[in-house]
Structure 1
Amino acid sequence: MPRQALADRTVDQEVLDGRAPSVGALFRNRVRATPDAPAYLYFEDGAAELTTLTWEQTHEVVEQWAAGLISLGVQLEDRVAIASTTRVEWVLADLAVICAGGATTTVYPTTIAEDVAYILSDSGSGIVFAEDEEQVAKLQRVRSQVPDVRQVVALSGPGSDDGWVITTDELARRGREWLAETPDLVDSRIDQLGPEHLAVVIYTSGTTGRPKGVRLVQDSVVYEGAVIDALGTFTRDDLQFLWLPLSHVFGKMLVATGLQIGFPTAVDGRIDKIVDNMAVIKPTFMAGPPRIFEKAHGRIALMFAGETGLKKRLIDWALGVGGEMRDVLARGEQAPALLRGKHALADRLVLQKVKDRFGGRVRFMISGSAPLNAEVARWFGSVGLLVQEGYGLTETSSGTTVNSPDHGAYEYGSVGWPLPGTEVRIAEEDGEILVRGPGVMRGYHGNPEATAEVLTEDGWFHTGDIGRMDERGFLYVTDRKKDVFKTSGGKYVAPAEIEARFKGLCPFVSQFLVHGAGHNYATALVTLDPDAVAAWAPTAGLEGRSYAEVVSSPQARALVQGYVDKLNAGLNRWETIKKFTILPEDLTVEAGDLTPSMKLRRKAVTEKHRAELDAMYEGA
């Protein structure tokens, strides 16, 4: 059985127990409760100012689109795909699918045409929302392979002459016609949805073989929003900045949380605009993968390191005071008056300037999808930007555990406590993390064999992650079960833990891949952050050189070697990195090195750079 946390946790059980029967009902409840409150904010056609949709305005669009989908033949649990980047129209389309009684199939916009055809065919999707002409063209190329796709709806751009592609205006027009005949058309469809009806099929961005479609039911999605509401972490006064891929489970569940609680969400998926957008949006919270926090930490840490004299001493003092306050709050204690006074001064002189880079109003941030180095998290905590690290998988509807100081304590390096209603235990035989609860998937779409491999008859999901629980109930994730390797000397190495540790030490690193299965020592592939490298190059006499020239220089190698030495000083002998290679380019989503949620595709990168890895073992 899972160990129970010793600290008390305040949970509004009535909210959790009284959750809506479906996402459609949840949306309808929100519209009725706060029709005139802001729901979604977005930059229309690249404008500098935000446009706001109220909940009632959102409902007007969603109802018309939902009725339009019904006019196209969508029945209960019929799959409707969305192939788009994160934008407000993605949210509207998703809500329309749900309110029509259908289930959304998510398609990453960077997915190659062959895989798009597979996902659409495997899911049985009959209708596809396509973001723009690029996505429509991709669908046209595979049209013969997806004969069941009877209609494409373009979120932007024109329709087609043969009628296979229509615009959202045309979809809305058809919806209005059907609503004029049957005003309660959409409401009656929502009323037919129950907790166990299919809500979404999300295809895992796996590194081997075909992706598997994770089936999440209505209650799995609703539970995620309700349990966060029950914990009281968010309020209606919050403002979310959502840039994560909505094709990923993390982003989708954050939308569900907004429906439950009623806070507005600013939606903009342009990753290159995150920093600029935060200054305009001024959110109170934002979620992201560890790479976003590592990059921000590295950039600000390098800037601080470049200061000298009195200014440097002031920064160090302020961070020290911030660290003291961080540790007091993490223990759930009240800070003494003297510390509160010092912290107010440190905040005014230094710390608030860091927070202003994130819009100035952030109460906390959320990290998920991969391990976040504890030192990076502590650094953010010292400047007053708490990063609440959580844990979950697509198969567990994202949220499984969360680290939150609102509920007794906060443990840096852990991923917190299991959410109320969710059980977590550690398998005795191999340390695998097992999960059971409302968020666990009902299986892989059309793949009972794969389902049976990970889901027991009594509902325990085998995550494939290795972890441990401490005596207070905090969960620690060590690595992916399949990624842990054994050296030729018989010693086990957990690469993700070492990789996260290095990212906390080196502000210049972008990616760090540890390798060594079957060898007598570990090696690493390293990529450096282009922005950090550009700022560092002039200090090393490399001004004006290209990225590839800078990272291949002796100066860059000496720089990285210094951080590798620091890393090795804290590792067991068999874990130490004996050799490393700096790659001439960074790893990217576009090149297939990272998943769309910025997780490392370990096998793909290893195969791609097999020659570099083999070279580090020549003669060994």
Structure 2
Amino acid sequence: MTANDPSFGLPIPPSSLALQRLYHWERTAPNRIAYTQPMGGGVIKDLTWKEVMDQARLLAGYLQAQGYAPGSKIALLSKNTAWWLICDFAIWMAGYVSVPLYPTLAAETIRQILEHSEARLLFVGKLDGFEGMKPGIPAGLPCVALPLAPPNNYPKWDDVLAQAKPLQGEPVRPADDLATIMYTSGTTGMPKGVMHSFGTFAWSIQSGLDRVKAIDENARMLSYLPLSHVAERTLVEHGQLATGMRVYFAESLETFTADLQRARPTVFFSVPRLWVKFQQGVHTKMPPAKLARLLKIPILGGIVRKKILGALGLDQCMLAAGGAAPMPPDLLRWYERLGLPIIEVYGMTENCGVSHATLPGVPRPGTVGVPYRGVQSRIDPANGEIQVKHPGTMLGYFKEPELTRDALTADGWLHTGDKGQLDSEGNLRITGRVKDLFKTSKGKYVAPAPIEDRLVMHASVEACCVTGANLGQPLGIVMLNPDAAKAASNGGRAAIETSLAEHLKSINAVLDPHEQLDCIVVVVEPWTVDNGVITPTFKVKRNRIEELYAPNYERWVGSRKPVLWA
């Protein structure tokens, strides 16, 4: 029997559903610390399961008192805090559906989601740049301000709870009841509302924990990726409900290192961009060649590893994982030499982020490993698309039946949009997006993702995009990291150009002739969510890159320079 066998599924016992788990911790561990929340100014607040549930019950009572019909949509716009999760619990307990919004969205997108979801109320929490977001909140939509929210005139958390009567008993929801609508960050087009039930989440976290044994009641996680993202929602929220582990919250980008030091997570998940930043930070203090030499020395290498991981706050990490975008194989090998092997996970919002992962202790750089237990997968022979199927797959897209039919086959297979290949061991290798392939003027197709994995490994590069439809050869566009951008503005362009030119040579040396990059174009201006170049999960929007830079492609290539500045 294999993981692709349909009979290899996992049952969903009622005790594993979110609300049942919530009441379990309220009954059995009321005084255990559930959350550790920074309040600003060095103040840290711990919340026990009893305190969490006391507030959730009051808020659920408040929501029900508003008279909303069962199944009404309640929205959340906030960075990660303990109260984000308390709101989610209260929404579920009251019989409603939560609609989380990324805390970095532009006003136009906020309005589109709030109107499309038919949200009846919006919780506004900790945010940066709220004044720019506020115009996106429809006039007349009731709002409630969570603790740590920016200045506003909305009813305050403490006042709302003070007037509420707590919800009594242990109301539960069936497995097939709609729990949440998660709007995808999407690299193209407007977000789609992915509908998940209590059952899809319960099955998915159960399948994940069946693979990964490092998450239990003694585990610690730092919550910092948006809770509106499926990885954080499944791993942190539902992972905590399943195990009772302790969750710490990050305060800000500026305090992130201190937040990691405080939490000392035993489990840490991140997107590739942050793993690259960690590596670059280490290399600024110790040149790569010197570090490589030291790590080869038996006793000294162990001391160096311990010191570096301690400085990162990851010295107690038993499970490190990366996902949401491809992990460059060289990056994975670097962390393995450092003594922190990273498992690579693969999934989508549409399947709770649960599909494939490499096995702990069995590194397979360049692949995303094998299916989780109960996950069926196949590759479409017609176009190489990866398709997956399991009980954690979404119910569909909210109010979008045609898009749902495009995404799901009649018998439940999910079109991922990703292209893939299987190696001799059955490990899945992502080779690009079905729609990301582009054709050069020579009639050759280019898959940009594997080339980008190599391009981003330069010490000065923070993000990149390989493009060039209808050109003779593709080209690479790179965004410098802050240190490199500063050096470039202070007379360091020549050194960066020389280094990138050597990087270009090394990349082209291992590519097929039709894939070789004509040049590298350097962008100093940051790609951000605000200017629409990246998604809230740090994926580059290829259509936006084309809008901004395509008019320059011919001129750049015509200059015949290996490295240019945009």
Q: Calculate the TM-score normalised by the size of structure 2.
A: 0.91
Partner of residue 439 from structure 2, selected from 483, 486, 492:
486
Q: Match of 1:331?
A: none
Q: Match of 1:355?
A: 309
1:24 aligns with 2:19: yes
Q: Which amino acid aligns with 1:30?
A: W
Which residues of 2 match residues 492-571 of structure 1 at below 5 A? 492-504=445-457, 506-532=458-484, 534=486, 537=487, 547-548=488-489, 550=491, 553-571=493-511
Deviation at 1:19, TM superposition (A): 5.5
Q: Match of 1:235?
A: 216
Q: Match of 2:160?
A: 171
1:194 aligns with 2:211: no
- Bigger CA drift: 261-270 or 223-232? 223-232
Partner of residue 54 from structure 1, selected from 48, 63, 87:
48
1:247 aligns with 2:223: no
1:85 aligns with 2:70: no
Q: Match of 1:69?
A: 63
Q: Match of 2:530?
A: 590
Q: Match of 1:417?
A: 370
Is the alpha carbon distance of 1:528 and 1:159 closer, same or farther for their aligned partners in structure 2, counting shifts above 3 Å? closer
Give the CA RMSD over aligned residues. 2.6
Is the alpha carbon distance of 1:19 and 1:600 closer, same or farther for their aligned partners in structure 2, counting shifts above 3 Å? farther
Deviation at 1:292, TM superposition (A): 0.2
Kindly provide the CA deviation profile for residues 347-400 of structure 1, in whole angstroms up to 9, marking residues without a partner as x: 542110111122221223221110010110111111111212101111111122
Partner of residue 43 from structure 1, selected from 38, 41, 47:
38
Contact 1:363 1:386 (8 Å CA) reproduced: no
SS in 2 for 1:175: coil
1:474 aligns with 2:450: no
Is the alpha carbon distance of 1:316 and 1:218 closer, same or farther for their aligned partners in structure 2, counting shifts above 3 Å? same
Structure 2 Cα separation of the partners of residues 456 and 306 of structure 1: 48
Contact 1:89 1:155 (8 Å CA) reproduced: yes
Deviation at 1:511, TM superposition (A): 1.5
Which residues of 2 match residues 209-228 of structure 1 at below 5 A? 209-228=189-208
Is the alpha carbon distance of 1:235 and 1:132 closer, same or farther for their aligned partners in structure 2, counting shifts above 3 Å? closer
1:125 aligns with 2:119: yes
Deviation at 1:160, TM superposition (A): 7.6
Contact 2:295 2:337 (8 Å CA) reproduced: yes
Structure 1 Cα separation of the partners of residues 440 and 325 of structure 2: 24
Q: Match of 2:29?
A: 34
Q: Which amino acid aligns with 2:477?
A: L
Structure 2 Cα separation of the partners of residues 577 and 403 of structure 1: 30
Structure 1 Cα separation of the partners of residues 28 and 123 of structure 2: 29
User: What are structure 2's unaligned runs of at least 5 residues?
Assistant: 561-566
Is the alpha carbon distance of 1:480 and 1:58 closer, same or farther for their aligned partners in structure 2, counting shifts above 3 Å? same
Contact 2:26 2:50 (8 Å CA) reproduced: yes
Is the alpha carbon distance of 1:2 and 1:461 closer, same or farther for their aligned partners in structure 2, counting shifts above 3 Å? farther
Q: Which amino acid aligns with 1:586?
A: P
Q: Which amino acid aligns with 1:430?
A: N
Kindly provide the CA deviation profile for residues 185-221 of structure 1, in whole angstroms up to 9, marking residues without a partner as x: xx23xx2x11111111111122333211111111112
Structure 1 Cα separation of the partners of residues 3 and 47 of structure 2: 44
Structure 2 Cα separation of the partners of residues 488 and 2 of structure 1: 44
Q: Match of 1:544?
A: none
Is the alpha carbon distance of 1:402 and 1:20 closer, same or farther for their aligned partners in structure 2, counting shifts above 3 Å? farther
Structure 2 Cα separation of the partners of residues 132 and 586 of structure 1: 24
More helix by share: 1
Structure 2 Cα separation of the partners of residues 445 and 512 of structure 1: 33
Is the alpha carbon distance of 1:270 and 1:19 closer, same or farther for their aligned partners in structure 2, counting shifts above 3 Å? farther
SS in 2 for 1:524: strand
Is the alpha carbon distance of 1:346 and 1:425 closer, same or farther for their aligned partners in structure 2, counting shifts above 3 Å? farther
Structure 1 Cα separation of the partners of residues 516 and 254 of structure 2: 35
Deviation at 1:465, TM superposition (A): 0.5
Q: Calculate the TM-score normalised by the size of structure 1.
A: 0.84
Q: Which amino acid aligns with 2:330?
A: E
- Bigger CA drift: 84-93 or 28-37? 28-37
Which residues of 2 match residues 89-104 of structure 1 at below 5 A? 89-104=83-98
Q: Which amino acid aligns with 2:305?
A: L
Is the alpha carbon distance of 1:74 and 1:33 closer, same or farther for their aligned partners in structure 2, counting shifts above 3 Å? farther
Deviation at 1:499, TM superposition (A): 0.5
Is the alpha carbon distance of 1:54 and 1:586 closer, same or farther for their aligned partners in structure 2, counting shifts above 3 Å? same
1:183 aligns with 2:136: no
SS in 2 for 1:141: helix
Deviation at 1:49, TM superposition (A): 5.2
Kindly provide the CA deviation profile for residues 64-86 of structure 1, in whole angstroms up to 9, marking residues without a partner as x: 11111111224432111001112
SS in 2 for 1:240: strand
Kindly provide the CA deviation profile for residues 110-146 of structure 1, in whole angstroms up to 9, marking residues without a partner as x: 2222221211111111011012698876676355x46
Deviation at 1:417, TM superposition (A): 1.7
Structure 2 Cα separation of the partners of residues 586 and 170 of structure 1: 41
1:319 aligns with 2:295: yes
User: What are structure 1's unaligned runs of at least 5 residues?
Assistant: 6-10, 322-341, 538-546
Deviation at 1:235, TM superposition (A): 2.0
1:278 aligns with 2:260: yes
Contact 1:202 1:247 (8 Å CA) reproduced: yes
Deviation at 1:172, TM superposition (A): 1.4
Is the alpha carbon distance of 1:370 and 1:142 closer, same or farther for their aligned partners in structure 2, counting shifts above 3 Å? closer
Q: Match of 1:152?
A: 143
Structure 2 Cα separation of the partners of residues 420 and 3 of structure 1: 5
1:389 aligns with 2:389: no
